[in-house]
Amino acid sequence: MTTIATKTNLLGLSQGDLEQFLVARSEKPFRAQQIMQWIYQRDCDDFDEMTDLSKSLRSQLKGDAEIISPMVQARHNSKDGCIKWLFSSGSGQAVETVFIPESDRGTLCISSQVGCALDCSFCATGAQGFNRNLSSAEIIGQVRHAIRELPRRSNDEPAVTNVVFMGMGEPLANYRNVVSVLELLVSDWSYGMSRRRVTVSTSGIVPHINKLADDCNVALAVSLHASSDDLRDQIVPINKLHPINTLLEACWQYAEKRSKRFITFEYVMLRGVNDSIAHANQLASLLKGKPAKVNLIPFNPFFGTEFKRSSVETIRHFQDRLRERGLIATTRKTRGDDIDAACGQLAGKVSDRIKKPLGKKIIAPKTSPEKPNGHSDIRLSSV
Ligand code: SAH
Ligand code: SF4
């Protein structure tokens, strides 16, 4: 029987893993730094071009290793400059990545899983169920591809200045691969981004929030969305495992380890569900005096959902009340309304393994299903 030797994909390996790979081949660990510079800073896929490596190492790498990026299936350009890519994740499935350009920065919103198992009741990704974790190559490959395709900024910086894990999937449920990618994003041998410009958004996997603070303390956004356990249990089911008080305790510890840098609390505005002044008061009491800012996200409808977006006035009153109570509160702006790329609308192509009926929307008002209204909200800056 013939054995087919499999090659190691060097894309997405953390520096530590790359060093181990090289040391196992009797090479010095610092070669990892050179290879990382070739892959991420010089966008090189060809070992022959890595001329500061010895000829023998290059030929060994050609035999044992490869640099394979995820395949792009489609690109959609919005009129306002936002771009969405669909990356193939095998077996007919795909994940989505969105670029949001602004005058002072370019934010890339990346995916970490094919689907999501956490089943938040207002999220299109959750409604599809979960298929698998993306590999670190598939995650960092989204960033590499965007940087490769997009023209540099006027100050000659790469187009992508900020990365947020707010695409498909729950990043802290794919912990190991996500941490490898975080390390690459901030490493001087790779993209060298400031930790402040890399944000992990989580629905609240508490043990991993605690761990992240030690492993790679980037900026943290927490999808709170409700001010009481009763309500959060229903719309963010992971709350049953990690209720609000445990979650907030982990957040304050995280902030402490980051010299009290603010944690962003995301709060999706669902009409008649979590958007009353009483909810705003309750939210303010939870967060007052803490290193917290609140980012209100107007709900983005998707096919089959029974939830509706709160009105502009309701969102403004909610935000005003939070401010009156001393909190920093902003509302995410609407952008990219001609491509389906909004928070929670990224659906890619997922055939799930955890099947569940779409529409167990326990507390949503009983109205007819709403189709996407075309007002996508993919701008991550706020007013
Ligand atoms: N799984 C992570 C990150 C991906 S979702 C998390 O939940 O934080 C990114 C953000 O979009 C989260 O705050 C999420 O709650 C929000 N979101 C999900 N569905 C949405 C929708 N339909 N409209 C607006 N925001 C949504
Ligand atoms: Fe998963 Fe985040 Fe969507 Fe919840 S909101 S289902 S955690 S992707």
Mind listing the pLDDT tens digit for each residue in 90-120? Answer: 888 999 999 999 999 999 999 999 999 999 9
The fold for domain 72-382 equals TIM Barrel (3.20.20)
Return the ligand 2 atom nearest residue 127 CA.
Answer: 6
Residues with catalytic roles: 96, 343
Would you state the structure tokens that stand for residue 315, as one six-digit string? 């969102």
* CA 238 – ligand 2 centroid, Å: 10
pLDDT at 122: 96
Q: Which helix (H) or strand (E) is 162 found in, with range?
A: strand 162-165
Instruction: Say how far apart CA 136 and CA 133 lie, in whole Å.
Output: 9
List, for residues 13-56, the tens digit of each pLDDT value: 999 999 999 999 999 999 999 999 999 999 999 999 999 999 99
Strand 72-77 and strand 83-88: the pairing is antiparallel
Q: Provide the total of helices (H) and of strands (E) in the chain, helices listed first.
A: 11, 14
- pLDDT of residue 285 exceeding 60, the answer is yes
| 169 Cβ closer than 6 Å to some ligand 2 atom | yes
Segment 80-96 mean pLDDT = 92
| 125 Cβ closer than 6 Å to some ligand 2 atom | yes
Would you state the structure tokens that stand for residue 144, as one six-digit string? 């590499």
Instruction: Say how far apart CA 146 and CA 58 lie, in whole Å.
Output: 27
For ligand 1, atom 24, the nearest C-alpha belongs to 299
pLDDT at 347: 65
| 202 Cβ closer than 6 Å to some ligand 1 atom | yes
For ligand 2, atom 8, the nearest C-alpha belongs to 169
Distance of CA 249 to the CA centre of its chain: 22
| 82 Cβ closer than 6 Å to some ligand 2 atom | no
Binned at pLDDT 50, 70 and 90, residue 346 comes out as low
| For ligand 2, mutation pick of 119, 165, 224, 300 (most atoms within 8 Å of CB) | 119
Binned at pLDDT 50, 70 and 90, residue 374 comes out as very low
CB within 8 Å of 249: residues ≥ 6 apart = none
Annotated domain spans of the chain: 8-66, 72-382
| 299 Cβ closer than 6 Å to some ligand 1 atom | yes
Query: Is the Cβ–Cβ distance between 304 and 312 less than 8 Å?
Result: no
Instruction: Say how far apart CA 246 and CA 253 lie, in whole Å.
Output: 11
Q: What is the mean pLDDT of the chain?
A: 89
Which parts of 22-105 are beta strand (E)? Answer: 65-66, 72-77, 83-88, 94-101
Query: Is the Cβ–Cβ distance between 300 and 292 less than 8 Å?
Result: no
* CA 166 – ligand 1 centroid, Å: 7
| 343 Cβ closer than 6 Å to some ligand 2 atom | no
| 166 Cβ closer than 6 Å to some ligand 1 atom | yes
- pLDDT of residue 380 exceeding 90, the answer is no
Instruction: Say how far apart CA 315 and CA 298 lie, in whole Å.
Output: 8
* CA 242 – ligand 1 centroid, Å: 18
Query: Is the Cβ–Cβ distance between 99 and 341 less than 8 Å?
Result: no
| Higher pLDDT among residues 344 and 341, named by residue | 341
Q: What is each CA distance from 120 to 22, 70, 168, 234, 237, in whole angstroms?
A: 42, 27, 12, 8, 6
| For ligand 2, mutation pick of 96, 114, 116 (most atoms within 8 Å of CB) | 116
List, for residues 120-174, the tens digit of each pLDDT value: 999 999 998 999 999 999 999 999 999 999 999 988 889 999 999 999 999 999 9
Return the ligand 2 atom nearest residue 113 CA.
Answer: 8
- pLDDT of residue 382 exceeding 50, the answer is no
Alpha-carbon Rg for the chain in angstroms: 21
- The pair phi, psi for residue 361, each rounded to 5°, is -95, 80
Q: What is each CA distance from 147 to 81, 157, 259, 346, in whole angstroms?
A: 15, 10, 31, 21
Q: For 209-251, give the DSSP string.
A: HHHHHHH---EEEEE---SSHHHHHHHSGGGGTS-HHHHHHHH
Segment 67-91 mean pLDDT = 93
Query: How many other C-beta atoms lie within 10 A of the C-beta of residue 62?
Result: 13
- pLDDT of residue 7 exceeding 50, the answer is yes
For ligand 2, atom 4, the nearest C-alpha belongs to 120
Segment 278-293 mean pLDDT = 97
| 172 Cβ closer than 6 Å to some ligand 1 atom | no
The one-letter code for the residue type at 307 is F
| Higher pLDDT among residues 343 and 8, named by residue | 8
For ligand 1, atom 26, the nearest C-alpha belongs to 344
| For ligand 1, mutation pick of 142, 297, 335, 378 (most atoms within 8 Å of CB) | 297
pLDDT at 3: 62
For ligand 1, atom 12, the nearest C-alpha belongs to 223
- Quick one: what percent of the chain has pLDDT higher than 90? 79
Q: Which single residue is written with the structure tokens 């893993």?
A: 17
List, for residues 172-212, the tens digit of each pLDDT value: 999 999 999 999 999 999 999 999 999 999 999 999 999 99
CATH no. of 8-66: 1.10.150.530
| 201 Cβ closer than 6 Å to some ligand 1 atom | yes
Closest ligand to the CA of 343: 1
List, for residues 224-270, the tens digit of each pLDDT value: 999 999 999 999 999 999 999 999 999 999 999 977 789 999 999 99
Instruction: Say how far apart CA 225 and CA 202 lie, in whole Å.
Output: 12
Binned at pLDDT 50, 70 and 90, residue 356 comes out as low
Binned at pLDDT 50, 70 and 90, residue 377 comes out as very low
Residue 92 backbone zone (phi > 0: left; psi -120 to 50: alpha; other: beta): left
